[in-house]
Structure 1
Amino acid sequence: MTGMVLLVCCGWTVLLCLSVEAYENLALHKSAWQNNTWRSYTADLAVDGQFTDLVWDGGQCAWSDRGQTTAEWRVDLGAVRSIHHIVIQYATGNIEWDEDNGFTRSFLGFSVYISNTTNKEDGVLCFRDTSYTRATIPNSVNITCPYHGRYVIYYNNRTHPPYPEGYSEDAGNALCEVEVYGCPSPGYYGENCSLECPQNCQDGYCDIVEGTCFGCSHRYIGPRCTKDCPEGLYGRNCLQNCSMTCGDPGRCDIMTGHCNGGCQVGWTGAMCEKGYHLTINITHHEHVYIFETLYIGTIDGYLLYYKLMDNNLLCLPKKMIKIMLTAE
């Protein structure tokens, strides 16, 4: 918490703390929800900015009913935000936080998710406690979570006994404050949220610390999406291969994948993805040969194609034939 940190900081340490707290608390006074509530201790009490009285009847903590198998709480940041870290202050009963404090039992095993919907499964798991004990779990907990999302979801469960030593038998919330620090406007990064993300980042988002892109818009690659796709590749993050049936094989528009220079004989479509039957009528014979083509091209006035039955290369003078293409 900002106030608590300032009390213990002095000298050069103050500069470090001020740097960490340069991000804004995006959760303060935002709409909050929990899956069940004990008495009048509603979800919004965990984002009201008050956490000096950490006992159950202090009126500053969100509490859920006991005897439950799951406990879920979330805050709506109002829009997709760039998050740096999350601080959770759990109830203590206003007594020393150590292994003898009963609240440690219900805090153990919690998870934090970042999501663009109210469903945690749609989001990313930011943190899951799998190793804390009653003696080691901190309070408050500071979780680095450099993701983008609208909802921050706290979750705990007691659904698959037996539980690790020290865990409570049921699940419950006793959240006195949840602070979500990050940038209030999308598309910015840095300690003061004053630097713009690179313009070719996918959806305009970048790492809140480094400014590197999570993904690139069409045609770009690189940590900051500043490089064009290499020849032969196209699309988002340059992951698609240009068609080898393009008129210029393996070369296409780096945005759309549409072929440059038309298509090879026997192929059509923007990406030359549609094959054709090729009917060849040899003018000085009565026979008509029909072949399904794998590749067709011309060299020095001759029509070249592969006959798929035996994969033999056949050559015919172009002046001796006429071609009729029919769609497959």
Structure 2
Amino acid sequence: MMYAVVLLVFCSWLALLCPFVQAYENLALNKPAWQSGTFKSYTGADRAVDGQYTNLHDEAGQCAASNTFEKRTAEWRVDLGSVKSIHHVFLQYATHNVMWDENNFHADDFLGFSVYISNTTNKEDGVLCFRDTNYTRATIPNPVNITCPYHGRYVIYFNNRTHPPYPEGYSEYTWIRLCEVEVYGCNVYTYGSDCKHCGNCSGGVQCNHVTGTCPNGCDAGIYGDKCDLECANNAYGVECKEMCGNCSNGEPCHHVDGTCPHGCDAGMYGNKCDLVNMRIMFSFNLDYITF
């Protein structure tokens, strides 16, 4: 019983510490992948997005591995199918099923890697999410989570040895030895770890991917920090600053353009029922004149 309570407390604490781990969807799972060379038929690019990485030997059939022997560049990418709102990228590099430390002989070719997000297959068209410039054989983590709050269709892993000399511990050449790449996020125009839909942000722009707030205010007829509330209290328009006219039977006007759905009260006219019909008002007043 005590063990169950301790486990529950631990899991609750972990959920608060790392909420995105639980809720974001792995957008890369079983998506089409490509790499700049393949070592063997069972080490293709797709092995890094198949959801299997219990065996971290690069020739065990669960890792993508390139045949770029004595090559200076190595590139791998996954096509998410459409533009997505990415939160973070998880990389599991091969370990040869031995302890990952400064003595692991795969650490030297993992050093110096980069991750890009792009809307095309060309990394230069996208944004650099991460580039390793500080890790050593002793400090490079594996696996690694990379925060990457950008929009894009392609996630690209790249490494190179094109501009020597390199820091101590770097390999002379580079390879792809990716056992799994997981890309967590949501569809565009969503926010939060549970991928809620954005409100009506002005100009149709993306809301803040974490808080849902709109950077430039709301569309006409909408208000609130997340632009998810319609104007009320007989108000309409941008920032709900305009007041409705005299709609029939006191009905509220349309929250965006101020028009009255069922016409105007007596004595008023116009799409917004904000103009006085002087003929009717004059006739009305004559009825009360006595001679």
For 1:27, the aligned partner's letter is A
For 2:199, the aligned partner's letter is P
1:114-129 pair list within 5 angstroms: 114-129=117-132
Q: Name the structure where strand makes up a greater proportion of residues.
A: 1
Residue 22 (structure 1) aligns with:
23
| 1:257-277 Cα shifts (integer Å, max 9, x gaps) | xxxxxxxxxxxxxxxxxxxxx
Q: TM-score, normalised by structure 2?
A: 0.68
Q: Is the 8 A contact 1:202 1:213 kept in 2?
A: no
User: What root-mean-square deviation, in Å, do the aligned CA atoms of Structure 1 and Structure 2 show?
Assistant: 2.8
1:42 aligns with 2:44: yes
Q: Is the 8 A contact 2:66 2:176 kept in 1?
A: yes
| 1:256-307 Cα shifts (integer Å, max 9, x gaps) | xxxxxxxxxxxxxxxxxxxxxxxxxxxxxxxxxxxxxxxxxxxxxxxxxxxx
Distance (Å, rounded) in 2 between the aligned partners of 1:83 and 1:180: 7
Q: Which consecutive unaligned segments of at least 5 residues does structure 1 have?
A: 1-6, 230-328
Identify which of 77, 94, 97 aligns with 2:80. 77
Q: Is the 8 A contact 1:147 1:207 kept in 2?
A: no
Identify which of 53, 56, 59 aligns with 1:54. 56
For 1:33, the aligned partner's letter is W
Alpha-carbon shift at residue 211 of structure 1 (Å): 2.1
Q: Is the 8 A contact 2:116 2:126 kept in 1?
A: yes
Residue 174 (structure 1) aligns with:
177
1:15–1:106 Cα change, 3 Å: same
Alpha-carbon shift at residue 217 of structure 1 (Å): 9.4
Q: TM-score, normalised by structure 1?
A: 0.61
Distance (Å, rounded) in 1 between the aligned partners of 2:104 and 2:131: 21
1:137–1:224 Cα change, 3 Å: same
Distance (Å, rounded) in 2 between the aligned partners of 1:59 and 1:122: 32
Distance (Å, rounded) in 2 between the aligned partners of 1:47 and 1:120: 19
Identical columns (%): 61
Distance (Å, rounded) in 2 between the aligned partners of 1:116 and 1:201: 24
For 1:200, the aligned partner's letter is C
Please say which structure displays the higher CA radius of gyration.
Answer: 1
1:301-320 pair list within 5 angstroms: none
Write out the 4+ residue segments of structure 1 that deviate beyond 6 Å after TM superposition: 214-219, 223-229
Residue 266 (structure 2) aligns with:
none
Alpha-carbon shift at residue 14 of structure 1 (Å): 3.8
Q: Is the 8 A contact 1:48 1:177 kept in 2?
A: yes
| 1:8-41 Cα shifts (integer Å, max 9, x gaps) | x934334234553210000000000011111111
Select the structure with the greater relative contact order (CA < 8 A; seq sep ≥ 6). 2
1:161–1:217 Cα change, 3 Å: farther
**Aligned-partner SS, 2:10:** coil
1:283-294 pair list within 5 angstroms: none
Aligned length: 219
1:142–1:19 Cα change, 3 Å: closer
For 2:162, the aligned partner's letter is T
Distance (Å, rounded) in 1 between the aligned partners of 2:207 and 2:104: 41
Residue 114 (structure 2) aligns with:
111
Identify which of 130, 147, 151 aligns with 1:148. 151
Identify which of 122, 133, 136 aligns with 1:133. 136
Distance (Å, rounded) in 2 between the aligned partners of 1:38 and 1:130: 27
